[in-house]
Structure 1
Amino acid sequence: MAVSASRGGARAASGSRAAFGRRGSPRPARLEQGWPAIASGKHTLIQAPTGSGKTLAAFLYGIDKLTDSPGEGLRLLYVSPLKALNYDVERNLRGPLAGLGSKLNVAVRTGDTSQRDRAAMLREHPDILITTPESLYLLLTSRGREMLQSVETLILDEVHAVAGTKRGAHLALSVERLDRLTMSRDQVPGHVQRVGLSATQRPMEEIGRFVSGGRPIELVDAGRAKELDVKVVVPLDDMREPGETGSIWPSIYPEILELVKQHRSTIVFVNNRRLAERLALRLNDLAEREIARAHHGSLAREQRIEVEELLKKGEIPCLVATSSLELGIDMGAVDLVVQVESPKSVARGLQRVGRAGHELGAVSRGRIFPKFRADLLESAVVVERMQAGAIEETVIPRNPLDVLAQHVVAICADEEISVDELHDLVLGAYNFADLSRVQLENVLDMLAGRYPSDEFAELRPRIVWDRTGGVIRGRSGARQLAVQNAGTIPDRGLYGVHLIDGGGRVGELDEEMVYEARAGQTFTLGASTWRIEEITRDRVLVSPAPGVPGLIPFWKGEGPGRPYELGESIGRASRELVALSEPKALERLTKQHSLDEQAAQNLLTFLNDQQKATGAVPSDRTVVVERFRDEIGDWRVCILTPFGARVHAPWAMAVGIRLRDALGLEAQSLWSDDGIAIHLPDADAPPPTEELIVDPT
């Protein structure tokens, strides 16, 4: 339900608000309505667009509450999914706390925290701890449990970034374990109060249930849409003929460079780390000086902080970043965001463009450069939906049993627990609210060594299940197993890059690239060049090689995939545009989809080319199937739809099994956001259409 502001809540935070205001932070007027809800002690979800000050609003009341009684243990716990955001929040808190004359102790616990600092906070507990979901799990599964017993308030920031993923389910179980831990104290003040912070999401009620575990929660919608100035730009008359090189890049680089020169601070967002490195390098080459630095998750924390500070101080005008700068990091006075390639979802587009004009009331200015014609179509629809605020619906994952198994082992590592109590604990997490007792016992069976097949017989049981007593406990080594396999972020097989002779960490490289590399080779990382001196079992030791050309690294990884809702909108737009006359279609693209004239003409040409080639355009109502022989005479089939890789991946697997079972054909398939390509090397004729169309029911 909506919450209206009251004088009591606003007055309670007045001292902290004044201190933050003196440092130039905007007064989060619309967010003040969240303070009465927080002051009441109820679980609260504050939903507001990026740059609105919701993190500040959540901290204000908590700081006022703690300032008069520092040193009484950890009472305010802040959890964010991004390490870089955690350090940014810590930095932004310390100044105002000093302005208040507060003696509150703030600490950060992430994977980058040194062993010395971790030990120090266990000896002397901070008043406020800033951490990540994975580090919270590790604290709950270690001696850090003692520190967490006194927590009274939990702030969950950037909830929208995890709610629709298994990482969010993992966090939800950690929060339930935290709640159970605090309730075990001798003096119990009640459940930990949860304050969730989220960018605008749909439906808000579902995000609220995720935060509270289905318990009553106050919903505070401070979602005033930011004013957007977004345009899709194509610097070519005809994307079919990009020039002598056959690439669109020689046309894109100068355009981006010109935009950087016209603005004080620019962030260029790309969708992968390799492109971040390459684009920063090319911009610097074109400008004949260093104007851009790369920023992504494979850079060491020290390197990331260095380039962030360079942009904030105005010492460098441009950062080329991946999603590492997408969330609520305060990047200061960024006045332009450039997005190379479609952002792949409306929510991500709003989040990224929102980095520009990060202050309340400021216009967020963005320019999107598509890389190819299908990308242009997606970009056009994303921008239209961004202007309308039509973000994708968040779907909460239900009963991810691998996540449950991980937490069961972690819980058993510390104590013996009854199956009844375990079931009650798990049901508290919204992702597992409908987990049946049978499902839980199946997981316990597996963990106790009762496997469904002899193929798993060599796996060692992880827990002991006393069925007579109805309790479970961990086997020896359970704690180590739980700690070493924490979280749902996959191990990508990355090698750390370190300066030789005991120097600091520079970043990380993909193991496949390291396998192909040799000592003496040079490569770029963070738009700086490094020479490989030695490759060890798990590290690449390097020395600086300034001014020397180097290879651009690559990292393997899967893209996020197009949401179904966006795919449906792309199909609808395609169908409607081809049905319009050319003047009306061009008018719609320039006014409604914010395309420049060249982009609009290129997109219309693309749709007309598809219509002429196959007689139909893939749409929300039409699936196009193409059959042809390749250069060596093998049959190939393309199934074209706009619904995205999340639909196409299981579809391709189902078709492969059907062709093998029905026709005896071994099919090799690839899929993307725009369709499925099937190779049939042993087929004398293409399969009938009915074998390719799968009933989703």
Structure 2
Amino acid sequence: MTSPASPLASFHPLIQAWWQRRFALDPGASAGTARGAAATTAEFAPPTPAQADGWEAIRAGHDTLIAAPTGSGKTLAAFLHSIDALTREAMDNGGLPDEVRVVYVSPLKALSADIHRNLAEPRREMREIAQELGLPPVHLTAAVRSGDTPASERAAMLRKPPHILVTTPESLYLLLTAERSRAMLRTATTVIVDEIHAVIESRRGPHLALSLERLDHVAGRRLQRIGLSATQKPIEEVASFLVGVDRDVSLADGGARTGTAPGQSADALIDRSDAAGPAGERGAQNVRARPVVIVDRGHVRELDIALELPPSPLEAVMSGEVWQEVYDRIAALANEHRTTLVFVNTRRLAERAARALSERLGGEAVTAHHGSLAKEVRLDAEERLKNGTLRVLVATASLELGIDIGHVDLVVQLGSPHRIASFLQRVGRSGHTVTGTPKGRLVPLSRDDLVECTALLAAVRAGELDRIIMPAAPIDVLAQQIAAEVAAEEWNEDALYALYTRAWPYRTLSRERFAETVQMIARGFSTQRGRRGALIHYDPVSRALRARRATRILALTSGGAIPEVSDYRVVLEPEGVVIGSVNEDFAVESMAGDVFQLGNTSWRVLQIQQGTMRVADAEGAPPNIPFWFGEAPARSDELSAAVATLRAEVAARLGDAPGDPGRRAEVAAWLVEACQVPESAAEQLVLYLGDALRVLGALPTHHTLVLERFFDDGGGMQLLLHAPFGSRVNRAWGLALRKKFCQSFNFELQAVATEEGVLLS
């Protein structure tokens, strides 16, 4: 059916026929192809390079990390070989036992549910094609297990395990801890970790790494691990995180290879068995990652990206009139496209922008999507966008990853997302096909935001990417996983230490540190009535670890690394339907009769109870916008460096005449050409930075810091440190300066940090 040289040639004829029908270039020829007629490569789209290289590595049994731009078919590359293997087994044995074979892990519940839905159609199509080809039917089952899964479906999953289990890192931890679900995982052979970059920088990363080692132990063998991501740097570190540590071989020397640029030959299949890990706590003991093949097709693809500015000049804070101009421009862009996805950085702005756009485009054409909306509300918004009844969807990072929301023509980003990878992921939601071109428009919201957005576009065009910073051996996560594993079975302390230090984040954990953690959860804490809170029993003679009576239930109810939030559920009366949630402070400050907006709909508060806010439809009454508290993402070091570089270049070109109109015009013309920004954006940027250079004497960069002292209206002295290092660095710097001033001069200061500096007052 396919050429022997085709990457599809090694697949079962049923899989080949399905591919030719699903990706037929001539729809009229697809039926004949499905019935086994000869086909040339011109009749159907060939696999992408990432898919072809990925299949070669996966088929050889290697752990594999696939890095490729959004829309390049990474998920299908990971799944298709497993589906092929299950199909062959079913054909050879007359069916498949009810056993879990593939575990798919994604960082978002919504992404897990989306993958489950997208697996249903190919399985149905394969059954139809098998019938047409006269082959026995293949019944592949798949199920999703996440926090949104109803109890009835969880119970059914235990009675009849699916062949493909779709889950999240937190639910995988629960499955490994509960007795019956732990037994269900013993037959697994493959684990797929999607959007791996989304968990690796938080405590969820080490938590997942320990769960993967536990999964290997439960299965009694080393599972094949497949990782997927579109944005990852350094790729060698991500690959090491995926596969963990090889303790059996000592490292003589090692080196890290660089990734393969897009368009190079299939030499992108690189063995990672020679990559060294840092020494860390273990001192002289060297560790290295297990062998892994990296399929690196890069993160760069052709993009249609540009700045969009309102007609009025930007200020330090955007006025209400300028906001109206921004919304007018977004509405105009939406009218020029079939579907538009608007990304914002906060849930409050998502609700506010959705309401403003609804006034311009109609309430049925616009809605909001964020994590404080109920699952049903989010799914309804996604389906409406997919089937074309919704023209504009305003979303936070809840839609940033690879969720299938159908064809999106345009992505608009309101304000800088503060990370290069986030911008690439969000723009990649449009043109999300192998041949599509993502189209994005970036709307700066202030003068400093204009500088950052200009630097962001320049960094994207230069192929820059944020560097991943992985938490090193967090002890709170380790203690949680020790208690969970001991709750499942009795362990020897040395054996559990050997298991957990195979996880890459814990590769340098010392034996003494591990023993201290075991002692902490075995002894609990001291109170006036004795010791309390012990989670496990520890035998110092045999070093045996055993669970206490309540250990398992505590591990199951208190697991995970996502911070707990005290939100109030919003319940619609009299139906009793959960709409979403609001922050506790907003709920406490509200009163019966207040009207607020959630999900682009107005609700009237009926009653506020402990943990629950009961509401009724306000029938379009003007609402307040609720607020939520959360830690905003800090600007990445790479984007901060791009901002500093842009400032330094503008300062150098302005020279000693920052106020000269001719010099400013020359710099503006350079910005238009070099950074590909509109002329109005270049003029505003040069005006802002030129005035700052004239007043301060220098522009703050990574090599030049500026201290500015001024007095407020009350006569209080303010000290401003201009430092474009991003709020992650500046917050720590502000706390240190505040403490130093207190120790040196014996008086208290207040410190406020932003992306651009630190204010001491």
Q: Does the pair score TM above 0.5?
A: yes
Q: Would you say 1:215 and 2:318 are equivalent positions?
A: no
Q: Which amino acid aligns with 1:73?
A: E
Q: Conserved in 2, the CA contact under 8 Å of 1:339 and 1:367? A: yes
Counterparts of 1:122-521 in structure 2, within 5 Å, are: 122-143=158-179, 144-183=181-220, 190-213=221-244, 214-223=289-298, 225-240=300-315, 247-449=321-523, 459-521=532-594
Check 1:405–1:361 CA distance in 2 against 1; reply closer, same or farther (3 A cut): same
* Alpha-carbon offset, residue 533 of structure 1: 2.3
**Distance in 2, Cα, partners of 1:563 & 1:268:** 22
Cα distance in 2 for partners of 1:208, 1:264 equals 39
Instruction: Tell me which of 105, 109, 122 is aligned to 2:141.
Output: 105
- Asked whether the 8 Å contact 2:664–2:687 carries over to 1, the reply is no
Whether contact under 8 Å (1:500, 1:542) holds in the other structure is yes
More displaced 10-residue stretch of structure 1: 200-209 or 119-128 = 200-209
Q: Answer yes or no: is the 8 Å Cα contact 2:316–2:446 preserved in 1.
A: no
Tell me which amino acid in the other structure corresponds to 1:172. A
Task: Give the 3 Å change call, closer, same or farther, for CA 458–389 of structure 1 in structure 2.
Answer: farther
Distance 1:457 1:669 in 2: 41
Structure 2: segments with no counterpart, 5+ residues:
25-44, 128-137, 245-288, 654-662
Instruction: Give the TM-score, by structure 2 length.
Output: 0.84
Is 1:9–1:36's contact at 8 Å kept on the other side of the alignment? no
**Is the 8 Å Cα contact of residues 114 and 403 (structure 2) preserved in structure 1?**
yes
Q: Indicate the residue corresponding to 2:47 in structure 1.
A: 28
AA of the residue aligned to 2:219: T
1:53 aligns with 2:102: no
Q: 1:11 is matched with which residue?
A: 10
Structure 1 residues 456 and 631: alpha-carbon distance in aligned structure 2, compared to 1, 3 A threshold: farther
Taking the aligned partners of 1:196 and 1:241, their CA distance within structure 2 comes to 43
Task: Report the Cα offset of residue 24 of structure 1.
Answer: 4.8
Do the aligned partners of 1:237 and 1:598 also contact (CA within 8 Å) in 2? no
- Contact 1:271 1:343 survives alignment (8 Å): yes
Query: Are residues 1:570 and 2:673 paired?
Result: no
**CA deviation profile, 1:376-412 (whole Å, cap 9, x unmatched):** 1111111111112200111222111111111111112
Q: Distance in 1 between matches of 2:199 and 2:376?
A: 25
**1:522-543 C-alpha deviation (Å, 9 max, x unpaired):** 2211111222222222222222
Give the deviation of 1:235 after TM superposition.
1.4
User: Which residue identity does 1:234 align to in structure 2?
Assistant: L
Letter in 1 for 2:668: L
Moved more, 252-261 or 525-534: 525-534
Q: CA RMSD in A?
A: 2.1
Paired letter, 2:107? P
Kept in 2, the 8 Å contact 1:6–1:36? The answer is no
Other-structure match for 1:622 = 704
Q: Using the alignment, how far apart are the partners of 1:373 and 1:456 within structure 2?
A: 60
Aligned letter for 2:425?
Q
Offset of residue 70 of structure 1: 2.7
Is the CA contact 2:669–2:679 (under 8 Å) kept in the aligned structure 1?
no
**Aligned 8 A contact 1:13 1:60 in 2:** no
State the AA in 2 paired with 1:155: I
Q: Give 1:8 deviation, angstroms.
A: 7.3
Shift of the 157–463 alpha-carbon distance from structure 1 to 2, 3 Å rule, reads same
Give the deviation of 1:256 after TM superposition: 0.3
Amino acid at match of 2:112: N
Mean alpha-carbon deviation: is it higher for 534-543 or for 118-127?
Answer: 534-543
Unpaired stretches in structure 1, ≥5 consecutive residues = 184-189, 680-697
Structure 1, residues 617-641: CA drift from partner, whole Å, max 9, x if none? 1112111111222222222211111
- CA, structure 1 residues 510+668, in 2 after alignment: closer, same or farther (shift >3 Å)? same
Distance 1:224 1:514, change over 3 A: closer
1:555 aligns with 2:628: yes
How much does 1:457 deviate?
7.6
Partner of 2:266: none
- Structure 1 residues 662 and 6: alpha-carbon distance in aligned structure 2, compared to 1, 3 A threshold: farther
Match of 2:101 in 1: 75
1:65 to 85, 90, 112: 85
Residue of structure 1 in register with 2:151 after alignment:
115
Q: Which moved more, 1:467-476 or 1:389-398?
A: 467-476
Describe the SS at the equivalent of 1:338: strand
Taking structure 1 as the reference length, the TM-score comes to: 0.92
* More off after superposition, 129-138 vs 326-335: 326-335
Q: What is the CA–CA distance in structure 1 between the aligned matches of 2:12 and 2:123, rounded to whole Å?
A: 13
| 2-structure distance, mates of 1:475, 1:553 | 44
Q: 1:163 to 1:241 in 2, by over 3 A?
A: closer
SS in 2 for 1:389: coil
Shift of 1:556: 0.6
Task: State the distance in 2 between where 1:228 and 1:427 align.
Answer: 42
Alpha-carbon separation, structure 2, partners of 1:8 and 1:631:
72
Report whether the alignment pairs 1:608 with 2:608. no
Give how far 1:9 is off: 7.0
* SS of equivalent residue, structure 2 residue 563: coil
**Alpha carbons 2:416, 2:449 under 8 Å: kept:** yes
Please state whether the residue corresponding to 1:248 is helix, strand or coil.
Answer: helix
For the residue of structure 2 that corresponds to 1:293, the secondary structure is strand
Query: How many residues are aligned here?
Result: 667
3-state SS, counterpart of residue 547 of structure 1: coil
* Rounded Cα–Cα distance in structure 1 between residues aligned with 2:451 and 2:312: 16
Percent identical? 41
